[in-house]
Structure 1
Amino acid sequence: MEIRLAVLGNTINDLTDIKARIELLRTYRDWVRKFFKNLIIRLGGKNEWYDVKKSIPDYYDYNMNISNRKCINELNNILNGINMNIDDLELLLEIKGESNDAFYKNWQKIEKAKEGLTKKFPDNMEKYKNLLQKLFDASGT
């Protein structure tokens, strides 16, 4: 009986943590997205953002000095103006990645997604089950 109570307690703690994580991501993901959209505009566009995104792994993964790159200088100027730095940007990218992992399962294989349709949906979501099946049927997958 004690083991069951311990397992139940751990499960409740895990679910509480998951709920808090999802709530945090749901609350802030749109703000993070808006921040990056504005940052891309301030950098000069998607090409400049692409250069930044190519440079960041050089800094973190390979310990390279990227401070002399034009895109990083511009990024640092923008970030300094809003009391942020590249480490803050990296954390925002992590939040964005966490959010994508939690809410967008782009990597999910079609078989896995279809398998989910064979399981019971929560009562308030059951109305979507047939529609989602039609979606897969219509796409020919």
Structure 2
Amino acid sequence: MASLFNQSSTHGHHEILGVFLVKLILICSTMHLKEATRRIIGQLGEGKSHAKDALYNLRYNLKLNNEEKECIEKLKGLLKNVDMMLDDFKLLHEVKSKSNMMFHRNNQDLKAAKLQLNDTVLDGVKIYKPPIKKALEAIGKWGLF
């Protein structure tokens, strides 16, 4: 899966990345994504201790040990319950990580975040729109905000 964050710098790339990150913050507050990912991982029970390592290893295409494989299978099941897939979760984790590094604006409510999903999104970042929308639906379903 191609990632906007792994592209090499080209003319205008930094401006595009800046616009992209600003748009992501407007679409969905980092706080919402952080809480959603925390709640999902928290549902893994004892397996949650392996979740961060497993997600890191998946992100960088590293080999998973048996506990991490089991954790990922459980995570897939939890995500399926809210109409998400592991790829959606990985994209959300990437969005959260990158936006956390540059911005700390966490005052947007859930309704505003959902409404802004209807705004025009840059062509290069449309891949992030479906998992963000799914995460917002899961947040609403679980009554997090």
> Which structure ranks higher in relative contact order (CA pairs < 8 Å, sequence separation ≥ 6)?
2
When Rg is computed on C-alpha atoms for both structures, the one with the higher figure is: 1
